[in-house]
Amino acid sequence: MKRSVLTSLVLVTVGIIFGAILVSNFNGGVDLGFARAGGDVKLGGPVPISNQSAGIKAISDNFVAVAKAVTPSVVAITVTTSGKKAEKNMPRDFFHFFGPDFKAPDQQPEQGFGSGVIITPDGYIVTNNHVIDDAEKDGIEVVMHDKIRFKGRLVGTDPSTDLAVVKIEAKDLPAAALGNSDNVQVGELALAIGNPLGLTSTVTAGIISAKGRNINIIRDNYNIEDFIQTDAAINPGNSGGALVNMSGEVIGINTAIATTNARYQGYGFAVPVNLLKTVAADLIKEGRVRRGYIGVEIGLVDQTMANALGLSEAKGVLVQKTVSGGAGESAGVKDGDVILSVDGKEVNAPNELQSYIATHHPGDAVTLKLYRDGKTFEKQVTLRAREEDKAVATAAEPQKDNDEEATPESPKAMKFDNLGMSVRSLTSDEKKELEVDKGVLVTDVKPYGEAFNRFVGKNSVIVEADRKAVNTPGDLKKIVDARKPGDSLLLRVRNERGTAFVALQIPK
């Protein structure tokens, strides 16, 4: 019995000691991937990359520095509208405005969220026109980076550039530094800062992926689109926010995206800051934009058009029509001229010229380098206000000349199979109805033929070919037959929108 009791005591003692050892091991003696020291649990393993590249660290540090410096200058804007806003901000084809992000229960007044950038220490803020458009009275609220809220007062808008200025009553605000968008280069790094999807003070990174984009989204008769394109992620609510370079300078105001689902799919578009500077200064000073105009309708010069005009390469901007009594006409600019540069700055797309001129006021003088009939020369143009150029959107006046009417023996109809179109003579009644005194009517256009691809439409009137008057199909045939395959042919075509130059290439 004694031995049994003694044995039991020994076993219990050993069990206690062994249990204590087990507990000790589980508490720190056995390495299970964590340890307890002073009551704290240590997690994780060794640093996988201990020798980080100095270049990578410098880029990362630069991102951090820019984000810290600029984020306080970007505000959130809450807009209350009467309920009409949603229709204006629905996607339009592939491109559309991406903010503000509206919430509207049961067709009640809507509330949307966008962004803005502080541009003066005393409270002037730039945003997009489509962010504050249709805001109710006292319906604009500005929320600062530090969560302080202000009532915003609308100072002015410029629908042509989709910009607007809002004012809050505050002092010593962190105004953003404004850069020079002319110096922006494709491929350089950029940050987008704003308030997407209700996520305030969001920073995303990307590059400048293109410049000078015209996506035809601004629905204004005098729209000016010269967007900077970026792949930095932007979404509804980013509208009016900042696109920033690696020096912390604002280079654009984020405005639109290319998407099929109303969310980020890779490409966003920002209004260049140089355009912003002029617009904002005018709105702050006068409440409206004072913009100078040349008074011309302009078009793109591609290689076919260049060949037809005698240019060695596709460059410049074609003057389709000068406005009667406008600044350009008064300075000696003529229909069919090609504007190669303005103030020494090359322009190779209509929106490039528009964007540059939009930074000038009525009374400012600009120097145009023009090409005409194989020669280049300069003309100084004193810009005028838009009120003087009201005829810019009207159809061209019919050109008068002394050409004879078609003779009885002239063919009344003719096919131009190589150009993919058919034409016929105009009757006297048609000339009167179409307000022309010459020309041939395009009666048929073959789908995907040369005329179709160059936007010569059915029922349009060809009034000139190679700057010669066209009265009959025979006149047009003589001019076409004089051209060799591969040559370009310059036509002047009139339709319901007006008169324009069109270039066709004679198929090989």
Give me the catalytic one of 162, 226, 231, 335. Answer: 162
Average pLDDT over residues 452-475: 92
Residues 450/505, Cβ–Cβ less than 8 Å: yes
Angle of CA points 132, 150, 114, to nearest 5°: 35
**Spatial separation of the C-alpha atoms in residues 112 and 104, rounded to whole Å:** 9
Backbone angles phi, psi at 214, to 5 degrees: -115, 105
Burial of 212 (0-12, 13-18, 19+ CB in 10 A): middle
**Spatial separation of the C-alpha atoms in residues 371 and 368, rounded to whole Å:** 10
SS3 280: helix
Give me the catalytic one of 73, 96, 130, 158. Answer: 130
Residues 417/426, Cβ–Cβ less than 8 Å: no
pLDDT in tens, 15-69: 443 343 333 333 444 444 444 545 688 899 888 888 889 999 999 999 999 999 9
Helix (H), strand (E) at residue 7: helix 2-24
Which stretches of 309-435 are assigned E, i.e. beta strand?
317-322, 338-342, 345-346, 365-372, 375-382, 413-416, 421-425
**Which of 380, 327, 368 is closest to 344 using CA atoms?**
368
pLDDT at 268: 92
pLDDT at 391 over 90: no
pLDDT in tens, 201-213: 999 999 999 999 8
Identify whether 100 is preceded by a cis peptide bond (ω within 30 of 0).
yes
Residue 6 DSSP code: H
SS3 500: strand
Burial of 162 (0-12, 13-18, 19+ CB in 10 A): buried
**239 flagged as catalytic:** yes
**Spatial separation of the C-alpha atoms in residues 372 and 337, rounded to whole Å:** 5
| Residues with Cβ within 8 Å of residue 472, at least 6 apart in sequence | 406, 407, 410, 411, 425, 440
Average pLDDT over residues 276-300: 94
The two tokens of residue 21 are 């050892």
pLDDT in tens, 301-346: 999 999 999 999 999 999 999 998 899 999 999 999 999 999 999 9
pLDDT at 408: 41
> What pLDDT band is residue 108 in, cutting at 50, 70 and 90?
low
* Stated length of the chain: 508
Average pLDDT over residues 139-152: 95
> What pLDDT band is residue 87 in, cutting at 50, 70 and 90?
very low
Residues 465/490, Cβ–Cβ less than 8 Å: yes
**Spatial separation of the C-alpha atoms in residues 70 and 193, rounded to whole Å:** 8
Higher pLDDT, 459 or 39: 459
pLDDT at 83: 63
The two tokens of residue 170 are 């505050």
**Which of 440, 414, 442 is closest to 427 using CA atoms?**
440
pLDDT at 6: 43
pLDDT at 13: 45
Give me the catalytic one of 115, 160, 181, 239. Answer: 239
What is the amino acid identity at position 410? S
Q: How many CA atoms lie within 13 A of 361 on its CB side?
A: 11
Q: HEC profile for 309-323?
A: HCCCCCCCEEEEEEC
pLDDT at 392 over 70: no
